[in-house]
A and B are shown apart, each in its own frame.
Chain A
């Protein structure tokens, strides 16, 4: 039985939480002697005020959608996959191999091929911890942390010793061939007569990410597999009763999870950098945890949280460009947003619930209503 109407829960609570985060951020900005109003203006106009800003915001959001979905699907099976970072790194390797060694005739085929490779590599990297958890009882949180470090070492080795073009200073692969160049939002929207900034890196991967959100929503809420994954996540004992195999669900959920993390690489590696560089993931795997938690593991929530983080990244970049505010301030703002919307949400919800209860009582003067059917 809900105390609050759904709109209050879905809109009001996050909004007030964001507001609180903003107020505290403003205080921090004041604290380091800058003007918070100007800073917010700059962030908003820089991130959302132009197609250019949107192009960057959406580019970052695309990364976070993939990693957020990665964490979310695992959460549904009650698995805490901290390994999105490593899985995304391996996904990058998959994309690089696909783009460098297969002569693609057209970007669309390249996208499909590279996405498949990325997913396979990411999934493989998640499958090992999944297997160890399912069969050996190794705690997935530790193994995925360890696999992040191992992935970094593997990638470092491969980039420095194998894929780096001879004589190149950069521990990165060669540039991918032109045939693998993905259309940017500018290219996609131009035929529709929409002017979109040419410079921004947001590309067709955004659509793939949105498709992944929808795919995941369908998977989780509309398919038997999703039903089984959620059931397992809620209650392992009940899942066993229903004939749902814990090993199977653990493996499948983690493989999908790793595959999604891996697919992030089509955005940052194939779409933006067009080559694989060291540390291409830049912590997006960890941001994915925050995104999934804030989005309550719901694909729509992940989508919105990813956009919010994309906004913070791009807004923060604009701040860094035009003011002398240090980049660490952005980290602090992110922390406050995560804290207020994700962990201190009850601080907002509890008083709101009281208000709504009081309103309800006022509206129904006779509280003689039959109690709603009780729980045990």
Chain B
């Protein structure tokens, strides 16, 4: 990357990317309709839109992953044919996909050189890549362990690998599709610092995100997509979050959670000395004590991989543990044959799992079948020896209506709903059970703001009915917005519990790094070091 090249480009002032009239249909679904967009070199261009608006599709077309049905692509003013990703790479485009495209059981280095090897033998390629990697790491502060297996590193690291992949291929144009969906605030901040750095070097960046704050803070221009069409492109400086939200959803959106102060009742969940050892013999929970009362939301914050998942799993009945867990005063079986999801549900525990696609739903099942998932033994869903499918379907129709699931078609397979609507199906199933205790993990991951608003409202409403809610989220903003009290986990332990109204992101951030004396000054290095040595398995949370 010579400096001459990009100054040259800026002088010509042709858009780095120009798309003209791009259309793409998947079977009967028109994902992109006649889309045109220009992105100027050396800028960060944001793209927002509801789930399923067609953002990822458009970017995949630009990257040659999909072929457009119609339309032209111009790179630096030149009409360029991008039939496959190879052509995109040759045109200087790099893309970090929403779902990472990494080979999990390869090392970081192997992932970096895949497809960009020099020559037929690996050894020289690897040596050369190792060197460039060092340099890139130094230049941009993108440190990774080149010999670690991708499956052993956290999502934040995996994303770094994806960015490094693009930089290693000398990308001038970098596309990031929802890069912060899985990052902690600290990681996200770092990512944006790096993006700023890249922009200052003249690289062009396209950023897709659902988070308006990120758009406002980092982008130069922003485009809004709706139902496959590009509805607006505006200068970031000349717009506001409220306006963007409205452009996106087509109505006014409440951006803050509106909730009354909590009125906590008796203790519903009482956890004492909870320990969990995973299959590999690593202690994941190292003596957890916490309580959740009726009518309150306890938020559990923490960097992914510090035991939050295990906490949910053991409470949800699909991980064994030691210690004491009482619900409404009754002790739960943590190891024996009463330790399963069914028994937990019988105790009045409902659970919205962290990963709706891997746990909460059977993607091939139709909506109505998913409505019964976990509750399929409910007598109400039964007629004689059989399942009462008619009853389940009727129930589903009702729930879909109450939760505004779109389309309200109980016979559509789960995989054919958008992420937000998938999440609503899970929430409807769990909340409508009227549980005493609701466990809820990452309720709004990858969900657009319209749906977030709705989901947050439902959670608060449940609290107001006097239910106990244990909320796990890596979004500090969400934790602070919803919780009444916040417990911060680090390395399998609770570092502290704070009143949500008495704390802020900074204090929580330090607790998340395992630092309890939150008033003393701390360096970034100290925090990073602490995080690196936590015994977490960050991968589990992906």
**Chain A–chain B contact at Cβ < 8 A:** yes
Q: Let me know if B341 and A241 touch, CB within 8 A.
A: yes
Distance in Å from the Cβ of B336 to the closest Cβ of chain A?
13
Q: Given A3-B28, A372-B28, answer yes or no on A240-B318 (Cβ-Cβ < 8 Å).
A: yes
Complex CA distance for A360 and B29, rounded to whole angstroms: 13
Q: Which residues of chain B are near A3, meaning CB under 8 Å?
A: 27-28
Q: Given A222-B389, A353-B27, answer yes or no on A372-B407 (Cβ-Cβ < 8 Å).
A: yes
Q: Which residues of chain A are near B376, meaning CB under 8 Å?
A: 224, 227-228, 242
Contact of B365 among A1, A231, A371, A375 (CB under 8 A): A231
Distance in Å from the Cβ of B318 to the closest Cβ of chain A?
4
Q: Which chain A residues in 189-239 approach chain B with CB under 8 Å? A: 218, 222-224, 227-228, 230-231, 234-235, 237-238
Q: Which chain A residues in 321-375 approach chain B with CB under 8 Å? A: 353, 357, 360, 367, 369-375
Q: Which residues of chain A are near B419, meaning CB under 8 Å?
A: 376
Complex CA distance for A230 and B369, rounded to whole angstroms: 11
Q: Which chain B residues in 221-250 approach chain A with CB under 8 Å? A: 227-228
Q: Which residues of chain B are near A218, meaning CB under 8 Å?
A: 386
Q: Which residues of chain A are near B363, meaning CB under 8 Å?
A: 234-235
Q: Which residues of chain A are near B386, meaning CB under 8 Å?
A: 218, 222-223
Distance in Å from the Cβ of A131 to the closest Cβ of chain B?
17
Contact of B227 among A357, A360, A370 (CB under 8 A): A370
Q: Let me know if A242 and B27 touch, CB within 8 A.
A: no
Complex CA distance for A223 and B341, rounded to whole angstroms: 19
Residue of A nearest to B337 (CB): A245
Residue A31 lies at the interface, judged by CB distance under 8 Å to chain B: no
Residue A243 lies at the interface, judged by CB distance under 8 Å to chain B: yes
Q: Let me know if B227 and A371 touch, CB within 8 A.
A: yes
| Bitwise interface map of B from 31 to 74 toward A, beta carbon under 8 Å scored 1, else 0 | 10000000000000000000111100000000000000000000
Complex CA distance for A228 and B175, rounded to whole angstroms: 41
Q: Which segment, of B254-262, B266-274, B295-303, B409-417, faces chain A?
A: B409-417
Distance in Å from the Cβ of B50 to the closest Cβ of chain A?
9
Distance in Å from the Cβ of B355 to the closest Cβ of chain A?
8
Q: Which chain B residues in 99-115 approach chain A with CB under 8 Å? A: none
Distance in Å from the Cβ of A375 to the closest Cβ of chain B?
5
Residue of A nearest to B405 (CB): A373
Q: Let me know if B340 and A234 touch, CB within 8 A.
A: no
Q: Which residues of chain B are near A235, meaning CB under 8 Å?
A: 358-359, 362-363
Residue B433 lies at the interface, judged by CB distance under 8 Å to chain A: no
Q: Which residues of chain A are near B291, meaning CB under 8 Å?
A: none
Distance in Å from the Cβ of A185 to the closest Cβ of chain B?
31
Q: Let me know if B418 and A376 touch, CB within 8 A.
A: yes
Interface centre among A3, A230, A372, A376 (most CB of B within 10 A): A376
Complex CA distance for A223 and B373, rounded to whole angstroms: 13
Q: Let me know if A371 and B418 touch, CB within 8 A.
A: no
Complex CA distance for A1 and B28, rounded to whole angstroms: 8
Q: Let me know if B406 and A373 touch, CB within 8 A.
A: yes
Q: Let me know if A223 and B387 touch, CB within 8 A.
A: yes
Q: Let me know if B353 and A371 touch, CB within 8 A.
A: no
Q: Let me know if B360 and A234 touch, CB within 8 A.
A: no
Q: Let me know if A243 and B416 touch, CB within 8 A.
A: no
Q: Let me know if A238 and B361 touch, CB within 8 A.
A: yes
Residue B146 lies at the interface, judged by CB distance under 8 Å to chain A: no
Complex CA distance for A235 and B197, rounded to whole angstroms: 42
Complex CA distance for A241 and B361, rounded to whole angstroms: 9
Q: Let me know if B28 and A238 touch, CB within 8 A.
A: no
Q: Let me know if A227 and B387 touch, CB within 8 A.
A: yes
Distance in Å from the Cβ of B334 to the closest Cβ of chain A?
14
Residue of A nearest to B52 (CB): A374
Complex CA distance for A136 and B355, rounded to whole angstroms: 28
Complex CA distance for A234 and B407, rounded to whole angstroms: 23
Q: Let me know if B374 and A243 touch, CB within 8 A.
A: yes
Q: Let me know if A242 and B30 touch, CB within 8 A.
A: no
Distance in Å from the Cβ of A148 to the closest Cβ of chain B?
31
Complex CA distance for A375 and B407, rounded to whole angstroms: 11
Complex CA distance for A231 and B361, rounded to whole angstroms: 9
Distance in Å from the Cβ of A355 to the closest Cβ of chain B?
13
Q: Let me know if B359 and A371 touch, CB within 8 A.
A: no
Contact of A238 among B29, B51, B359, B446 (CB under 8 A): B359
Q: Let me know if A375 and B415 touch, CB within 8 A.
A: yes
Q: Which chain B residues in 341-359 approach chain A with CB under 8 Å? A: 341-345, 351, 353, 355, 358-359
Distance in Å from the Cβ of A179 to the closest Cβ of chain B?
33
Residue B372 lies at the interface, judged by CB distance under 8 Å to chain A: yes
Contact of B422 among A223, A228, A376 (CB under 8 A): A376
Q: Given A227-B369, A238-B360, A243-B345, answer yes or no on A373-B52 (Cβ-Cβ < 8 Å).
A: yes
Q: Let me know if A371 and B341 touch, CB within 8 A.
A: no
Q: Which residues of chain B are near A234, meaning CB under 8 Å?
A: 362-365
| Bitwise interface map of A from 93 to 110 toward B, beta carbon under 8 Å scored 1, else 0 | 000000000000000000
Distance in Å from the Cβ of A272 to the closest Cβ of chain B?
34
Contact of B372 among A222, A227, A357, A373 (CB under 8 A): A227
Residue of A nearest to B418 (CB): A374
Q: Let me know if B387 and A222 touch, CB within 8 A.
A: yes
Q: Which chain B residues in 293-337 approach chain A with CB under 8 Å? A: 316-318
Q: Which residues of chain B are near A223, meaning CB under 8 Å?
A: 385-387
Residue B522 lies at the interface, judged by CB distance under 8 Å to chain A: no
Distance in Å from the Cβ of A214 to the closest Cβ of chain B?
13
Residue B483 lies at the interface, judged by CB distance under 8 Å to chain A: no
Residue B180 lies at the interface, judged by CB distance under 8 Å to chain A: no
Complex CA distance for A234 and B446, rounded to whole angstroms: 23
Residue of A nearest to B355 (CB): A237
Q: Which residues of chain B are near A360, meaning CB under 8 Å?
A: 28
Residue B377 lies at the interface, judged by CB distance under 8 Å to chain A: yes
Distance in Å from the Cβ of B466 to the closest Cβ of chain A?
26
Distance in Å from the Cβ of A3 to the closest Cβ of chain B?
5
| Bitwise interface map of B from 6 to 24 toward A, beta carbon under 8 Å scored 1, else 0 | 0000000000000000000
Q: A235-B362, A360-B28, A371-B228 given. 4 additional CB < 8 A pairs? A: A1-B28, A238-B360, A374-B31, A376-B417
What are 12 sample pairs from A and B whose C-beta atoms fall under 8 A apart?
A: A224-B376, A224-B382, A231-B362, A234-B362, A234-B364, A238-B360, A241-B359, A242-B342, A243-B341, A372-B407, A373-B421, A376-B51
Leading 3 A-B pairs by shortest Cβ distance: A374-B52, A243-B341, A376-B419
Q: Which residues of B contact A (CB under 8 A)?
A: 27-31, 51-54, 227-228, 316-318, 340-345, 351, 353, 355, 358-365, 369, 372-374, 376-377, 382, 385-387, 389, 406-407, 409, 412, 415-419, 421-422, 446
